[in-house]
């Protein structure tokens, strides 16, 4: 099993950041790579369409508004991995109430690629996503 984790500090309170990203169907609000999210299974799953028109189906596996995180599994995607599980979490930054640390991590089994190639793919996706989040927060 391979894994990766990316974190970034953004200039907004943890509550403000969670209000933007904490909805399981909120990716289009801050992630340009995902312009569309359609709720499935009564809201417990989402069908995402990426900028290239590819479909990604994900299912929520854990959620806590109080702890500001959610976890999800990929059910179908154009990625060379299986067994994908990921968590998106917002942390308070001690002594800096107007900043939040956002952590995005995942673990997965590479399928047809090396651990390093799969890790590089998701490190890039998470890093680009958190860069987009930072830009969105700064624009508001």
Q: What is this structure's pTM?
A: 0.94
User: Tokens 């998106």 map to which residue?
Assistant: 88
Among residues 75, 74, 69, 88, which one has the least CA distance to residue 31? Answer: 88
At residue 51 the predicted structure's pLDDT band, cuts being 50, 70 and 90, is: confident
Q: What pLDDT is attached to residue 140? A: 81
Q: What percent of the chain has pLDDT over 70?
A: 100
């Amino acid at each position: 099993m391979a894994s990766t984790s990316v974190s970034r500090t953004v200039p907004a309170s943890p509550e403000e950041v969670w209000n933007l990203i904490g909805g399981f169907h909120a990716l289009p609000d801050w992630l340009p790579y995902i312009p569309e999210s359609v709720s499935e299974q009564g809201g417990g799953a989402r069908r995402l369409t990426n900028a290239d028109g590819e479909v990604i189906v994900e299912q929520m596996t854990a959620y806590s508004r109080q702890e500001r995180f959610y976890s999800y599994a990929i059910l179908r995607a154009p990625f060379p991995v299986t067994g994908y599980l990921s968590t998106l979490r917002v942390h308070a930054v001690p002594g800096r109430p107007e900043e939040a640390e956002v952590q995005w991590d995942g673990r997965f089994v590479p399928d047809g690629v090396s651990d390093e190639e799969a890790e590089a793919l998701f490190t890039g996706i998470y890093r680009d996503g958190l860069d987009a989040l930072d830009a969105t927060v700064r624009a508001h």
